[in-house]
Amino acid sequence: DRYEVLGKIAEGGMAEIFLAKQSGMEGFEKLVVLKCILPALFDDEEFIEVFLDEARIAAKLNHPNIIQIYDLGRTEDTFYIAMEHVSGRNLQQIIFKEWDQKGLMPIAHACKILAGVSEGLHYAHQKTDIDGSSLSIVHRDVSPQNILISFGGNIKLVDFGIAKAAGQVSQTRAG
């Protein structure tokens, strides 16, 4: 009820990504991204635990270089994670555009992107719980499609779906 799907952004092997509008009282509106479990996986309890772990892990992180998680929910036919919308492109799209134009990304841009990703990863690796115990978060899928760059130049790390963390319910398998 809180989200109106505006269109599909992407689909992977386990989830669909949608652009949506969150609405509230007095004309409140906010663009968000919804990550939804594919219908074929809705009854897969192991996958659902991995999905829920992703939301729990990412929700603990509050850093300018990590996508923000706003909500975790369930409808009759899927689970979803509502997260920050970044108006921009992922690094893979930017690299392909550079190749198509027979160019290379300027070194200064590459260094800024790497610095932003490194800052976000360092924050996640050093994150502790309220008692000061390490959460031991390791992303495990830092790839160009999981690095978003806004049109304003902000760098955001996304998709903690196969992250490893202390206290997670599910365990991802090697490989």
The catalytic residue positions are 141
Residues 6 or more apart whose CB falls under 8 angstroms from that of 136 comprise 164, 165, 166
Residue for token digits 């996508």?
67
| Structure tokens that stand for 124 in this block | 């996640």
Distance of CA 121 to CAs 46, 82, 92, 109, Å? 26, 21, 19, 18
The amino acid at residue 85 is H
| Structure tokens that stand for 77 in this block | 């036919």
3-state helix, strand, coil in the chain (%, to 5): 30, 30, 40
The amino acid at residue 170 is S
Q: Residue 40, Cα to own-chain centre: how many angstroms?
A: 21
